[in-house]
Amino acid sequence: MGKLTDREVSKLKPAEKAYRKPDGGGLYLLVTPSGGKLWRMKYRIDGKEKLLSIGKYPDVSIAEARKRQQEARTQIANSIDPAGIKQAQKAARIAAAANTFEAVAREWHSKKTNFTHNTAKNVMARLERLVFPLIGARPIDAITAPDFLSVLRRVEEQGKLETAHRLRGICSQIMRYAVVTGRAQHDPAGALQGALKPRNVKHMAALTEPKQVAELLRMIDGYTGTLPVACALKIAPYVFVRPGELRTAEWADIDLDAAEWRYTVTKTDTQHIVPLARQVVTILKELHPLTGRGRYVFPSARTGERPMSDNAILAALRRLGIGKDEMTGHGFRAMARTILDEVLGVRPDLIEHQLAHAVRDPNGRAYNRTAHLPERKKMMQQWADYLDKLKAGAEIISLRGNAA
């Protein structure tokens, strides 16, 4: 039987079952019931019969099919399996597609279970808008520090310094995830920490004078809004966590018997423990019958499936007549840091631990979440008792250097 011609191939019609039209040397055209015409090559290697897919006619012409047949025969003559090579090449392409920066970033994002809904949405929006169009298709292990810097400089040029710094942190987390999962050797984004322009630091308004704090606490006690917001507002000064961490607190993370709240700090992706003073436990026990069956300690008023809004604490403060230039939800942290240090004389490292800031030992290693826990428990009870005394009108010691 002679070699196939284009004229002969064009006349081939589909049948009820697939059939073959040989071209010689193991090469044949497989005609499928749907009308497809597929090049196949039968061969033997190491005593086993194998089959190699060469392509689809007319995308792969007769001449090209014969050329690929000859290349395969040369490989076979050198004890190389052409089908095995093709499978390896396909696996490499799939692996490369799965290891682009965008693919790894999306995988990392899907595993960030500690992200709130809004945080997850904002992080992905930044990546899709500012990073993926520039380096998303690049193999993640080939991206260098200058590549990331080029991306971040574009953001800086728009005057968005805070966004540039946040984006560097996000890219660094993605690269560290790639290192852990074996798809990169190091984190080049982490090396850029000092390469960006300083961010525009916005100091959150806070009351730090004990006399002012006393009045604030009395005003909070008089809040008449919903019970979840009222409880969150009362607890905020005692625990001085970040506002986002307070509003998204989950009952599953709180042990009222042990008087502890354990959760992951979203900003640093580290584990943290908040010892709960007796006053906080009392407030939570009051709230538990109302929200304890749900996930969130302070659920949204609209739906219990989500935590209360970002603006809930701030709106409550405004409702009490406290202006944005006087106090914010974040201001409770500055209030605690200042008074614990300057009035109560607590060791600064204990305060920094409780603020979930990075604190390192003499060898430069980060302390774990249980570091100085007994001392921190005493500090948190001392702080809560001090606030109660302020609220009750006890004698007030002003900050050092200020008049009483």
Distance of CA 308 to the CA centre of its chain: 21
Find the catalytic residue in 183, 234, 333, 391. Answer: 333
Instruction: List beta partners, residue 272.
Output: 263
Active-site residue among 223, 367, 372, 389?
367
Q: Is 357 a catalytic residue?
A: yes
Q: Is 267 among the catalytic positions? A: yes
Is residue 333 part of the annotated active site? The answer reads yes
- Annotate 203-214 with DSSP letters as a single string: PPP---SHHHHH
> Out of 357, 369, 378, 389, which one is annotated catalytic?
357
Q: How far apart are CA 373 and CA 89, in angstroms?
A: 54
Token pair, residue 14, equals 């589909």
In the chain the first and final C-alpha atoms are separated, in Å, by 111
Max CA separation in the chain (angstroms): 111
Supply angle C-alpha 56, 61, 63, rounded to 5: 135
| Nearest C-alpha neighbor of 281 from the set 392, 377, 370 | 377
Provide Rg for the chain, Cα atoms: 33
Q: Who's near 284: CB < 8 A, 6+ residues apart? A: 231, 235, 254, 256, 276, 297
Active site residue 242: yes
How far is the C-alpha of 273 from the C-alpha of 328, rounded, in Å?
Answer: 23
Q: Of 330, 337, 353, 391, which is the active-site residue?
A: 330
Tell me the H-state helices in 56-100.
62-77, 82-98
Active site residue 330: yes
CA distance 331 to 340: 14
The active-site residue out of 93, 111, 129, 267 is: 267
238 is catalytic: no
Taking each continuous run of H as one helix and of E as one strand, the counts in the chain are 16, 7
Cβ atoms of 196 and 151 within 8 Å: the answer is no
Of 109, 138, 242, 262, which one is the catalytic site residue?
242
* Residues classed as catalytic: 242, 267, 330, 333, 357, 367
